[in-house]
Structure 1
Amino acid sequence: MSTSTNNEPTQMFQPDVVTFGESMALMMPDNSKGIEYSSGFQSLFGGAESNVAIGVSRLGHRIGWFGRLGKDPFGRMIVKKIRGEGVDVSRVQLTAEAPTGLMLRETVSGKSSVYYYRKGSAASFMRPEHLDESYIAQAKYLHVTGITMALSESARETVREAVRMAKRNGVKVCFDPNLRLKLWSLDEAREVLLEVAKEADYFMPGLDELKLLYQTESFEEIIGRLKELPGVSIVKGGDNETYIVEGDSLTAVPYFKAEQVVDTVGAGDGFCAGFYAGLLKGYSLQEAVRLGNLIGCMVVQMEGDWEGIPTWEQVEAFLNNVQHVER
């Protein structure tokens, strides 16, 4: 995917991780009244894949994110802010054929609700020919999600082709199903997501997602199904622990305890960012998952999709129990 956002050289940057998908403008009331009764809104953005990209960058590694955005104020804002986080956006396309997607979020009486305006968005028009195989081939890991596959048939085929490109070039495929039932039916999602799970080197579902995808509440049956997959499965959202299923082995990695939970949005993306950072730092699989757990814990203690993802300096301070002193 070639860039139309700037005149930067497109062959200089060599990413450790490549990801792509839809990032949307995000509007939130600047008070607790809810959308219906608010006159002022915060203008933000969010997207599972760009959240991961920002996280990996903050944790000290090279990552590229691309997608299609509208050639509109929202699209330009998103590109500038992601670039400002140190993420390579040289393969992003701004297009006049469709607008940037939009989501609205409100929290009323402690309950969070999200409303999507993304049908017919620029990202839904992604096609396999927009991919740059040479760019994907440079990476160690390709991160894809089920959200992109839910946008349209062409976006679905784009993910499939990206996976094929990664495999041709020895790039490990990492797949977070990110099941979103507002975007497609469970029956449609199940077939597509489980297909990609079989191709993934690292499959990273939530336990609740697996209960829906495998149509069972039985933990033992779910683990049994995961053991049949050729790759490693990292199961988020367990009972105070994350599970690693590798071959016939099952390992549980305990969570870090959050002092307070402010906003759970983006926790899974933060986990993925921490997990990749751990692998890139040469950690064992278990230690990489532990780092992912820590990042997820830190994310839920701040409001926002990606704003709470820490820098590597902040992670080291946490692990070393360094106290913050306000002067």
Structure 2
Amino acid sequence: MALFVPAVPGPPDEVVTWTRTIGGAESNVACHLAVLGLRAAWVSAVGGDAFGRAVVRAVESFGVDTSGVVIDPARPTGLYIKESDASGSPVRYYRRGSAASGMGPALLDGLPLDEVRVVHTSGITPALSDSCLALMRALATASRSFLLSFDLNWRPALWTDRDPAVLRDLAAAADVVFVGADEAERVWGVEKPTEIRALLPEPATLVVKQGADGATVFDGSAAPVFQPALKVDVVEPVGAGDAFAAGFLYGTLAGWSPERRLRSGHLRAATALLTHHDVGPSLPEDLVESLLGASPDEWAAAHISLGVTS
């Protein structure tokens, strides 16, 4: 989607100039993975309009393959407005009848899914339309040689006239699932990591994001592993969950331990927390390597802010 953020800080109703950028859960993850050095592709639909062209160009600029993106001449590109604030950024969606809402199972035809290692999806897509829900169900039930990743990404405004009960089924069909503890409480009435795991025993890997506290991973039959979040001077939080998912998936493909995968997620999330945009500049490589292998005390003492890390 096209994304507009305030060009200067201030109350949204007083902002005169807005900056156009891009946003979207799955495209964010693809961009982060490409920046991390992996081959990544984004498959979606945009309108045949200036916003759609801008979105595709922007995603491509991160090194993401967009050859699977459909240009819909009849529907517009979706957009949203982010009222940036460090304590939480209200988001206004304008996506009803968008090109992405016209996606369906036919989108899977011809995709080289046997050539990929991970397909990342989110709970946003099935909320867009009946055909998008059919697309997600087709992907979830198809035979596969790749890992299917699913991020709950609860967006209540998208579910006002749809039944969110399908989200548990889609999550249960995935191999790697990301769920925010606060999201799970709103959608399923459970919040503790162990309660969420009891609700979702099927995925091989379940990651419960616990905000500024950290994240817990349930990986197979092993005991759950918790990793505290980094201390970060937050500019604004939207997009951090997508960055975390990308960092965790990167570590998964690298064959890292659960603790190292969680740290990779937290480090990538920090890059989004330090910017008003959904995909921010990477942290220095030497810092990342140092923190990935840091002792628990060193990790707990780390503090990341714009231009200064201690």
Alignment TM-score, normalising by the size of structure 1: 0.82
Alignment match, 1:103: 80
Deviates more, 1:69-78 or 1:230-239: 230-239
Task: Tell me by how many angstroms 1:187 deviates.
Answer: 7.6
Structure-1 residue corresponding to 2:216: 243
Q: 1:216 to 1:70 in 2, by over 3 A?
A: same
**Cα gap change, 1:239/1:50 in structure 2, threshold over 3 Å: closer, same or farther?**
closer
The aligned runs of 1:295-306 (5 Å cut-off) are: 295-306=268-279
Relative to structure 1, the CA distance from residue 247 to residue 213 in structure 2 (aligned partners, 3 Å threshold; closer, same or farther) is farther
Match of 1:175 among 131, 150, 173: 150
Residues of 1 paired with 2:271 and 2:7: CA distance? 23
Q: Distance in 1 between matches of 2:168 and 2:25?
A: 19
Per the TM alignment, residue 212 of structure 1 is displaced from its structure 2 partner at its CA by 2.4
Gaps of 5+ in 1: 1-23
2:193 equivalent to 1:216: no
Partner of 2:61: 84
Aligned alpha-carbon RMSD (Å): 2.4
Residue 196 (structure 1) aligned to one of 170, 176, 185: 170
Structure having greater relative contact order (Cα 8 Å, sep ≥ 6):
1
Cα pair distance change 1:259/1:197, threshold 3 Å:
closer
Gap runs ≥5 in structure 2: 292-306
**Which residue matches 1:140?**
117
What does residue range 178-327 of structure 1 map to in structure 2 within 5 Å? 178-185=153-160, 188-189=163-164, 191-217=165-191, 220-226=194-200, 228-237=201-210, 240-308=213-281, 310=282, 314-320=284-290
The offset of 1:263, in angstroms, is 1.2
SS for the counterpart of 2:158 is coil
> Measured at CA, do residues 284 and 108 of structure 1 come closer, stay the same or move farther in structure 2, by a change above 3 Å?
closer
Asked if the contact 1:34–1:108 (Cα under 8 Å) also holds between the matched residues in 2, the reply is: no
Write the distance in 1 (CA, Å) between the matches of 2:232 and 2:104: 44
Could you tell me how far apart the structure 2 residues matched to 1:157 and 1:252 are? 34
Q: Following TM superposition, by how much is the alpha carbon of 1:145 offset from its aligned partner in structure 2, in angstroms?
A: 0.3
Q: Kindly indicate whether the alpha-carbon contact (under 8 Å) linking 1:63 and 1:87 is maintained by their aligned counterparts in 2.
A: yes
- The Cα shift of 1:256 comes to 4.1
Contact 1:102–1:116, Cα closer than 8 Å, also in 2: yes
- Runs of 4+ residues over 6 Å off in structure 1: none
C-alpha contact (below 8 Å) 1:55/1:270 kept by paired residues: yes
Query: What is the aligned partner in structure 2 of residue 41 from structure 1?
Result: 18
Aligned counterparts, 1:6-21, within 5 A: none
Amino acid at match of 2:230: K
Q: 1:195 to 1:79 in 2, by over 3 A?
A: same
SS at match of 1:62: coil
Residues 28-61 of structure 1 show CA distances to partners (whole Å, capped at 9, x for unaligned) of 2222344433332111110000100000001110
Give the counterpart letter for 1:291 in structure 2.
S
Q: Which residue of 1 aligns with 2:301?
A: none
The number of residue pairs the alignment matches comes to 293
Range with greater deviation from structure 2 (54-63 or 249-258): 249-258
Q: What is the alpha-carbon distance in structure 2 between the residues aligned to residue 250 and residue 291 of structure 1?
A: 20
Q: Distance between the aligned counterparts of 2:118 and 2:207, measured in 1?
A: 15
Percent sequence identity over aligned pairs: 33
- Preserved CA contact (<8 Å) 1:256 1:297: no
Relative distance call for 1:132 and 1:317 in structure 2 (3 A) is farther
2:32/2:243 contact within 8 Å kept = yes
1-structure distance, mates of 2:67, 2:162: 36
